Structure 1
Amino acid sequence: MSGTLARPGGGHDLHERATAHLDPPFAVVDLAAFDANAADLVRRAGGVPIRVASKSLRCRYLIERALARPGYRGVMCYSLAEALWLHATASGDDLLVAYPTADRGALRALAADAAARAHITVTVDSVAHLDLIDAALGAGHPEIRVCLELDVSWRPLARGPHIGTLRSPLHTPAQAARFAETILARPGFSLVGVMGYEGQIAGLGDAPPGHPVRAAVLRLIQARSAVELRQRRAETVRRIRGLTALEFVNGGGTGSLESTSGDKSVTELAAGSGLVGPTLFDAYRAFRPRPAVLYALPVVRRPGPGVATLFSGGYVASGTGTPDRLPSPFRPAGLRLTRTEGAGEVQTPVRGAAAGRLGVGDRVWLRHAKAGELAERFTEYHLINEGHERAEPVAVPTYRGEGQCFG
């Protein structure tokens, strides 16, 4: 079998030409696509600065590349241990840990480092979080910067369904203001920010292919949720600003930059997935990120006509466990996973017309469903820069490649 469709040499295929010397599996970052995505996020943000969501990158080089561009400011971390590491490696001086921490060792490390305490903020949404920090650090501990998280899910009825992510218990302005008063009255804490992630808008594509009814329902929910949230968040911020000065109010995500930036109470946005362009972000009407991170797998078997088997490939995304969390064959076009095996631990069969033209040793390129989780599978990313395809790509380490795993 010729395999010419997948082997290097196709004039249209920069990725193949630039990586001809590499043996798959490997992952690449198309820097032209990454930079184009970064510019489009800034355009969509409408002048509101964007905090880079590190969990969507998990590669210091990419975090720093985004931060070097106008329109980006600060890092949204997913782990306190991660924030301490990024601070120690000078990869960020404004680090918001956007998820509450129960890592007592990391809290003690934060308390012991005055420079880190000045640049790292941890998120809290209950007295239990304050109690845990006090218990970990002891009486009279140094002041810890904290951010209050507001639940920004949509509840169309007072006792009705909760539409959005299950995060903070602080839903009303009154609840948030009372908790802010508790923080301000508690020694050892400084309330510097408010955040809220509207996952029902930012994380759900409003144009799921093949599901027009679901799309219509999603658009209605998102439109009504945005109106309700703008009023509720503005009132929450007004009440808290009446108690103390705030350094920032963070909101949104890749899928909601336009609506969140229109909320005048928000001083910064958050985005990360839009820099990478994973498949879960193909289902939006208003924008379409370019695929910037891809990975290649080798063909190792031809079990029969119209099917080729790839080595490894079971890089399934976290979340609902539904088919949209599986990786997607990208190139050659026309390939699909099988329903019986999907993406496997040690092998991944693909079907389609192009499979019949693949030979053992050829490559298939795939895209991950989520942005950052692919970095947990590879120790390095190979950088490809359009216009420099004849030069070997530079390899940069992922978090894993630097020996870091933050869960």
Structure 2
Amino acid sequence: MAAAERNIDRMARLVAGTEVRLRPHYKAHKCPELMRRQLAAPGTAGAACQTVAEAAELAALGCADVLLTNQLADPRRVAELLALPPEVDLGVLVDRPEQVDLLGAGAAAARRRVRVFVELDVGLRRGGFDAADPDVAVAVGAIEEQPWLELAGVQAYEGHAVLEPDVELRHRRAADAHALAGRFRDRLARLAGRPLVLTGGGTGTADLIAATGALDEIQCGSYVLMDAAYGRLGLPFEAALFCVATALSAHPDGRVVLDAGMKSLSGDGLPRALTPGVRVLGLSDEHTRARQAATVLRTGDRLLLQPWHVDPTMNLHDAVVVVEDGRTHTAPIRGRHAVRAG
């Protein structure tokens, strides 16, 4: 936990003295104990989440400002979200006019104000309007006509840039995305006749956003625990999440078989072995294949693996073992049972 606490402090110091606020993303770890500590950090505006069930957990934590960084397309999900305690200030994304109609009907039925953020695609090609889509004006007009909806801002996530290993290329891609998002936000602000929040970003671009102020909020997630993917980038955060594995077999030719596979670690990349001289070669369901240059590991030895990707790794486990002040306790990963957003 000490490493996670240092990461929380480093991110807070990154935005200290700027107008940029932090909105840590619950989807990264789904662990209430971690999120409680993140929300207590200076410069934090609220929390982000990806599902309605995660939003409910944040509300249970006492988080007063929750942004669901996803679209809703099911009236049942809208009703579940709007049934959260009224003291929680809720925000939701839209990238089609139909979603506005659905949100507006639900908000009117619940008699509850909802902040709406228009999502812009800035290069990831996942969610978000294209900047030139004529339906943008249709959606904004529909939001303004709904008495229980408030156009609050723009969501712009430069996911295509955050993991780029080349720092100059990463910053250039991110800066281009931020410039596009800024112009789009200004356009919508003129339509609305008031200032709007620009939110997005991530762990890999937090330094650039803090330095330029291009976004109003950073939706940082992985920084608190870090993973092998972000570990390649030379960011000012340290590894705080590990999987303890045992060498089931250590062969004379250097082959090593470990007892942790894709049921324990994310399978979208290879974990990093912290034991010097041990290199991970591949994952299967129950095993990790590795090779050692010398006899570092013997059969029965244990080693630490840093997962490639925090989010899906945490989603595989019911709890994490927390080491703090020389003692251990378990912290539930409650969000792994969350229902999809829509």
TM-score higher than 0.5: yes
Match of 1:336? Answer: 279
| Pairs aligned (count) | 335
Q: What does 1:239-250 correspond to in 2, within 5 Å?
A: 239-242=187-190, 243-245=192-194, 248-250=197-199
**Cα deviation code 1:43-77 (max 9, x no counterpart):** 33353221001111211101111111212231110
Classify 1:235/1:308 alpha carbon distance in 2 versus 1 (closer, same or farther; 3 Å): closer
Partners in 2 of 1:58 and 1:177 — Cα distance?
35
Aligned with 2:161 (options 165, 189, 201): 201
Report if aligned partners of 2:279, 2:291 keep a CA contact under 8 Å in 1: yes
Q: Specify the SS of the correspondent of 1:121.
A: strand
Partners in 2 of 1:289 and 1:206 — Cα distance?
17
Q: What does 1:280-291 correspond to in 2, within 5 Å?
A: 280-285=229-234, 287-291=235-239
Match of 2:14? Answer: 44
Report if aligned partners of 1:177, 1:236 keep a CA contact under 8 Å in 2: no
Q: Specify the SS of the correspondent of 2:219.
A: strand
Q: Specify the SS of the correspondent of 1:236.
A: helix
TM-score by length of 2: 0.86
**Cα deviation code 1:111-131 (max 9, x no counterpart):** 344616x42211111112224
The CA RMSD measured in Å over matched residues stands at 2.8
> Residue type matched to 1:404 in 2?
H
Report if aligned partners of 2:107, 2:149 keep a CA contact under 8 Å in 1: no
**Cα deviation code 1:291-345 (max 9, x no counterpart):** 1111101222335442232213224537xx5xxx122222x2221223xxx1121
Match of 1:398? Answer: 333
TM-score by length of 1: 0.73
Partners in 2 of 1:65 and 1:257 — Cα distance?
19
Q: Specify the SS of the correspondent of 2:27.
A: helix
2:161 corresponds to 1:189: no
Percent identical among aligned pairs is 24
Q: Specify the SS of the correspondent of 1:266.
A: coil
Structure 2: 5+ residue runs without aligned partners?
Answer: none
Match of 1:13? Answer: none
2:250 corresponds to 1:311: no
Structure 1: 5+ residue runs without aligned partners?
Answer: 1-30, 154-163, 208-218
> Residue type matched to 2:68 in 1?
V
Match of 2:224? Answer: 275
Which of the pair has more CA radius of gyration? 1
Relative contact order higher in (CA < 8 Å, ≥ 6 apart): 1
Q: Specify the SS of the correspondent of 1:257.
A: helix
Aligned with 2:38 (options 47, 56, 66): 66
> Residue type matched to 2:79 in 1?
R
Match of 2:69? Answer: 98
Report if aligned partners of 1:165, 1:199 keep a CA contact under 8 Å in 2: no
Partners in 2 of 1:295 and 1:43 — Cα distance?
29
Classify 1:107/1:175 alpha carbon distance in 2 versus 1 (closer, same or farther; 3 Å): closer
TM-superposed CA distance for 1:228, in Å, is 3.9
Partners in 1 of 2:145 and 2:320 — Cα distance?
47
Match of 1:25? Answer: none
Match of 1:254? Answer: 203
